[in-house]
Structure formats: C-alpha cells, structure tokens
Structure 1
Amino acid sequence: MNEHPSSCVIRPTGCPGLLRVVQALDGGICRIKLDGGSIQSVQADTVASAAERFAGGVIEATNRANLQIRGIGAAQDALIEQLLAAGLGPHTPAGDDVRNLMLSPSAGIDRQMLFDTRPLAAQILLTLQIHERFNELSAKFAVQLDGGEAMAMLEHHHDLWLSALVHRGEPWLAFGLAGSPLDKPAGKVPLAQGHALVVMVLESFLDLARPDQTRMRHLLAEIPEDEFIVRLARRVALQPCLDWQRGASVDGLHIGIHPQHDDRVYVGAQAPLGRLDTAMLRGAAQLALEKGDGSLRFTPWQSLLLPNVGAHDAKQVLARLGELGLVCSPDEPLANLIACTGSSGCGKALADTKADARQLAERLQRHGQALKIHLTGCPRSCAAAHVAPATLLAVGPGRYDLYFRDATLPGFGALQAHNLTIEALGHWFDAHPRSPLDA
C-alpha cells in the first residue's frame, strides 16, 4: 500500500492513525498499528528515525500493543511516507482504522498455549482491511483472539472475543460479544470456522447497528444478545459452550526472562510509564537482531519482548535493556504505575500525570513499596483500557482523588480519599498498609 495520504478517503474520527495525524498540545500524534503487536527490527529503527526527524523523539507504547509518535511538526506527510515505505501501513487506506486485533504477546511461543493463533490472526487482519464493508466500523471496534496463553491481557473488553479450547481432542474457539474471555461464552465453533465466524459477527453487527451505535455494547443495549446469536446461527454453525472456563493468566510475565515452549526464552522489559525515546527503541531493535529473531513484540502492559533468545544470552539481554533505561523487574515501582499523557500534552488533563507518577515512584522506591496504581488526568482514562486496582483521578495540578476498584460500583470504584497531593498520598498509604494494592 503506497498511496499518499492526501488521496485517501478516511472517515471522521478523533483517533490518530498512521494516515491521520491528530493534534495535541505537544504536537501531532501518529498511531502505528502493529500486526499482533509485532514489529521487525528494521521497522523499529525506521520508527525511531521518523520520530527524530519529524517529531520530538517521543514514542509511546500503547495499551493495545501499538506504537505512537508524539510531537509531530509540519512535515507530517514526510513522516507518514517514511513509515509506509517501511511496510508499516495498511493493505488499503481505509483499512488502517479497522485493523484492531489483539493477540497474546507470546502467541506461538507460549508454553501454555493450546495452539498458535497467528495463522488465523493473519487471515482476520487481511479481511478487516480489504472487506470494503468493514470500512464502516468504528476505529475503536476491536477483536481479541486468545490462544490460551499464560501471558494474556484478559481484562480489556472487546467487541468480539475468541478463545482457544480443545473439544474431543480437536481445536475449537469459544467466543463472546462485548466483553472478554473471562466472561461466559455465547457459543463455540471449530477452529477452521473461526475466520467465518468473525466475518459473520461483523456483518451482522453492521446489518443491525445504527450509525450512532459504534460498539457492540451499544447494539446489545437495544437488541438482546440471545437474539443476535440466533440471527448469527442462521449463517454459521454454532454449538453451545456450557462448561468451558478460560484458564487463568499469570501476572508479571511481560517483564523478565521466561521460557518458551521450545528450549529458548523471551526477555521482556517495560517502557517507563509507556514512554520510549529513540535510543531505547533502537537499542532494543539492535539487541533483537543480535540475540533474538530480529523482531520485537509490544504488549498491552506497555512493554516489549525479545522472543526466541538463547537461554545462555538471556541475562545479558535483560541487563542491556536495563542499561537502555527500560524497567526490567516487576518489583520496581515504575513497573506497576500507569499514567496518561497528562497536562504536558493533553488539553483535557488537569495534572502533569507523568511527572507526578515519577515523583510517586521515587517515594514508593524509598519505602520499598510496589503498588498497582493508575494516574489519569481526566475521567476518560485513556491510559488504561481496564479498571486498575487503584486509580488517582486528577482534580487539579498535583492533586488527585483516590479510588479502589470495586466490582459492585461503576467507573473507577470506591472513593477512598479526596484532593491528595503526591506527598499526602504517600502518607495515606503508610497509614493504610493493608490496602488491596500490594503487587
């Protein structure tokens, strides 16, 4: 796909894409969607070069395992052309928005996986981009394909999810709507019918949804799920899935050294607060060439993996990632903090969340604490696609309301304290040592 962005017809949306740079306080934002979160080392080097030449050198790892370049100046067309030349664009111009398919970062290499989801993922991604009718889907409409891996983000809600199971010795897919594999499935199909199921679900959604119903949950608020499934069953052979439950994922597998299904390992490290500079990305890409298979995989935890590393090289690789400034231990406070762009780059944010998160991390480090906390500059919660154990919602510069997740309450959960500074927050945690936030 080499068409210049000026000739592309892109439907209106506020979301950035590769072909559509969206303006923020700190300049333009370009979002690079990665197939299954994976990028080749030479492509990663191109992203770093584009960020240096045409932007401020800031690269973000997103919670959907994509990359963003921030601070883009007037030469945005040149930046886009460079990324397209590296093969980072969609198959069709309108396909950029809709290639939203989340896999486990360890797809194909995970020791717990039931089967390799990547062949089916490639089919689905191609169809999402070349099926003209799917251009009508919202840029936020998303599909999850889960192979039963130990490392899987199971808390993000998707419009359609599919999850691996084995039925009578054969590979099948459980599936559900407007949720995650942790939910009760709506049915199951043989793996060979997985692609057809995705096509039928998306076509049925477009048949039934009004223009203002951009997500599956909007449609299901008006049409019962059972009715949607009955309609779907007329087009694809479904079977009930009554006794299946997705096995638990394992926390912390996105950081450190972990064995693969073969005799190799993957090595993971986290971008501090989701931010990479060009030296970090280039250095990781070079390491992948030297010690891995020449690819990087980004994760929904805003980290990166080097897959297919020899076990004898693993400690050296992890140490070099640490030297680049990446977070290499789940026990580090920064490994457990999430922060949105904040007021330095977003006009809606009420506080500089990145700076406040670093201040909080330093305080937690001194006290030997590692707490799972999400800092958000406004109620939109752009940095976390799921509700974190604790959320700090900015109410003004350097001041936050503290919430704890509560499944019985909407939004961020139960309000614990109001209008805290970062220093006061530290004192609050000291006074409440048995909080549910310990990592």
Structure 2
Amino acid sequence: AEQEALIARLLAAGLGPSNAGGDDVRNLMLSPSAGIDPQMLFDTRPLAAQILATLENHPRFHELSAKFAVQLDGGEDLAMLEHHHDLWLSAFVRHGETLLAFGLAGCPGLDAPLAAVPLGQGLELVVAVLETFLDLATPEQMRMRHLPVDNVLSHLRLPLLPADGFTRPPSDASLQVGTYPQVQKNQFYVAALAPLGRLDPTMLKGAAQLASDYGDGTLRFTPWQGVLVPNVEKPHAVTERLAQLGFICSLGHPLARMIACTGSSGCAKGLADTKADAVQLAALQSGVEVHLSGCPRSCAAAHTAPVTLLAVSPGHYDLYFRDAAQPGFGRLHARTLSIEAAGALLRARPRSNTDD
C-alpha cells in the first residue's frame, strides 16, 4: 500500500508515464535551458511534449528498446551534444526559415545530418523514422546503428529537404555551473552540480525551496548530474544557498570535473568503490576531467574523458589517456595504479597532455 501511494504521488507530480507501457521509451533529451537559452533558435518544449505523448500513447512504440533514444536540439548554448542517439534533430536557419536537420545513430555535435524537414514537420518526422525502424528491424536489431542508413531513408514516406547550411556550434561546457542570463529580460538561471551525482533529501528539498522562493517553483535536472534553477531575479542568494546545501557551484571545485559510476557499493559489476575513490583522487589533483569506471561498460560517461581510470580491483585502476587514434577509453598509460599513484602521476603530467 505504501508503494502504491508513493507511485501515485510521483505520477501526480508528473514524474512518470501516462501509462505503464510507455515508461521505458520516454528517452527524449533536451537542453536543460530549453525555452530560456539566449542562443536557442526555437523553444523545443512544445514539440518535445508532443513527441513524449506519442511515445507514451502509441502502443507500437512500446516495442522499442528501453535504450532507444531521441534528441531534440534547439541550438541552445547549454547542451549535451556528445551523447549518441538513435535519432537526433537539430535546428538551423536557412533563408530565414527554421529547419530541423536530423541524423541516425549519432549526435549533432559530431556527425553530419542526413537531411532536414521544416520545423512544423518535426513530430511527423519522428513518427515516420520510428515506424520505419520497427518495420525494418528484426528482434535482434534493437538500435538504429544495427540498420543500414540508406535502407531507413529509402523507406521514409516523408518529403525531405537537403541539410545544406547546417552547422552546430559546440556547446559551452563552462555553462554547466554558474549564473547566466536568460532570453527573458532580467531573468537568470543558476546551474550547480551534485557531487559525483549524489543528491540527498536535504539537498533536493533545499533546491526545491529555492526554486519556490526565488524562481517559478520549477527545477530542471541536467545531463551532467546537476540541477538548474530557472527564472531567478536574485541569483547570488540562490548560489550561496546551493553551496551551503552541498552543491558544486564553481568549476574550480575539486569534484567539478570528476565523473564516477555507481561502483561496487551499488553495482554487482563494479570492481572498485569508484565514488569513494573519486573523492580521494579529487583531494590529490584538480583541473583535469577524470572518469572513474568500475567496469568496461562506462555507464557514467557517454563521451571519452581526457583521463579514464578503469577499475581492476578494489582501489586499483588502469589509466588511459584519450587518443583520437585509439578506440574506447584511449591509450593505456599505466596498469593497476592505486589512487595515490594515479593522483601523483596526474599532478606531475603537464595538463596539455591530459586535456584537449
């Protein structure tokens, strides 16, 4: 009974699907600054709501893999562009008209689009691509990367435009933390990180209270394991309180560039306590983005970090440096390092060799 009551409250707060069958397929990524980012070409939220409703309420789409994912990019300055999606749509302007370029099994930050559609046909495009995927895919072909791109395009029953003129400027990583002006006059958003992705009830309640007291009562979560408080007129007070609650409010914080998966404390596949080891490593070095992964699956990072520590046993890691010529984590530099040894090595190494 307690579980049912909790589920009912979560659904009433909008934190669940409109029907159980649609839960696993609600994988739609937007910028956390959708609708408020000064660089946005359009407000993605209304179209996103239509796409989500279609995913939830169209029974055939419930056949999609729980990992099948869609990205809708409105050109925001704050955006996760390195995460590969099965279908991505990214806005650009040509001859005064806003169009949506799109690609399959890739991302707007790295890959060229296949074609484009007018903005008003965004939902129609998503539906057509998903229907085509389900028409063509065998049960073993669960992701878009398993199908030939030309085969998908040739079966789309939708007029497509060339994507000539599409460019997607890189997102600004520094915007993940700090205070920034919104497109709305005299309004700001405040972004902060949860240390190693850990939020406790006090932190969450405190952030919610700040959103109510200084913003519009809403909180946004970010792809960088942080929170964003939008529509704020007095950002300094919000930042001060977030820091008191334990949030990271500056990129200079030792944990600001540290990524760690759940690790052995919460995952059977984890070979080391990555969260605890990351805290220890942060005290030994700073300035370099380091990813601690408890196993080769790399669940905590969709991109390859400049430095990766791959667990081999409790408290010991193989160290990799990102290398465009090497797949996966990059170039193996040292094996079976303790956290102390890894920290000493990173401190001694010039930053230009560990971070692009």
Q: TM-score, normalised by structure 1?
A: 0.78
Deviation at 1:299, TM superposition (A): 0.6
Going from structure 1 to structure 2, the CA distance change for 1:308 and 1:215 (only over 3 Å counts) comes to same
- Counterpart of 1:125 in structure 2 is 52
Do 1:336 and 1:373's aligned partners in 2 also have CA atoms closer than 8 Å? yes
2: CA distance, partners of 1:105 / 1:382: 21
Q: Are 2:279 and 1:352 equivalent residues in the alignment?
A: no
Do 1:332 and 1:370's aligned partners in 2 also have CA atoms closer than 8 Å? no
2: CA distance, partners of 1:295 / 1:414: 43
Q: Are 2:156 and 1:241 equivalent residues in the alignment?
A: no
Do 1:124 and 1:195's aligned partners in 2 also have CA atoms closer than 8 Å? yes
**2:146 aligned residue (218, 237, 240):** 218
Deviation at 1:370, TM superposition (A): 1.8
Give percent identity, aligned residues only. Answer: 65
Deviation at 1:350, TM superposition (A): 0.5
The within-5 A match list for 1:90-239 is: 90-182=17-109, 183-219=111-147, 223=148, 225-232=149-156, 235-239=157-161
Q: Could you say which structure has the greater relative contact order, defined with CA pairs below 8 angstroms and 6 or more residues apart?
A: 1
Aligned amino acid, residue 188 of structure 2:
V
Deviation at 1:85, TM superposition (A): 3.7
1: CA distance, partners of 2:272 / 2:94: 51
Do 1:330 and 1:336's aligned partners in 2 also have CA atoms closer than 8 Å? yes
Deviation at 1:421, TM superposition (A): 0.6
**1:86 aligned residue (9, 13, 26):** 13
Aligned amino acid, residue 237 of structure 1:
P
Deviation at 1:254, TM superposition (A): 1.7
Do 1:392 and 1:401's aligned partners in 2 also have CA atoms closer than 8 Å? yes
Q: Are 2:339 and 1:422 equivalent residues in the alignment?
A: yes
**1:279 aligned residue (202, 206, 223):** 202
2: CA distance, partners of 1:163 / 1:184: 11
3-state SS, counterpart of residue 145 of structure 1:
strand
- Counterpart of 1:385 in structure 2 is 302
3-state SS, counterpart of residue 174 of structure 2:
coil
Do 1:109 and 1:261's aligned partners in 2 also have CA atoms closer than 8 Å? yes
Aligned amino acid, residue 210 of structure 2:
L
- Counterpart of 1:44 in structure 2 is none
Give unpaired runs (5+ residues) of structure 2. Answer: none
- RMSD, aligned α-carbons: 1.4
**1:376 aligned residue (293, 301, 316):** 293
Do 2:288 and 2:306's aligned partners in 1 also have CA atoms closer than 8 Å? no
Q: Alignment length, in residue pairs?
A: 354
3-state SS, counterpart of residue 301 of structure 1:
coil
3-state SS, counterpart of residue 164 of structure 1:
strand
3-state SS, counterpart of residue 335 of structure 1:
coil
- Counterpart of 2:329 in structure 1 is 412
Do 1:373 and 1:437's aligned partners in 2 also have CA atoms closer than 8 Å? no
Do 2:261 and 2:274's aligned partners in 1 also have CA atoms closer than 8 Å? yes
- Residues 320-359 of structure 1 show CA distances to partners (whole Å, capped at 9, x for unaligned) of 0000000000111211001011111111100000000000
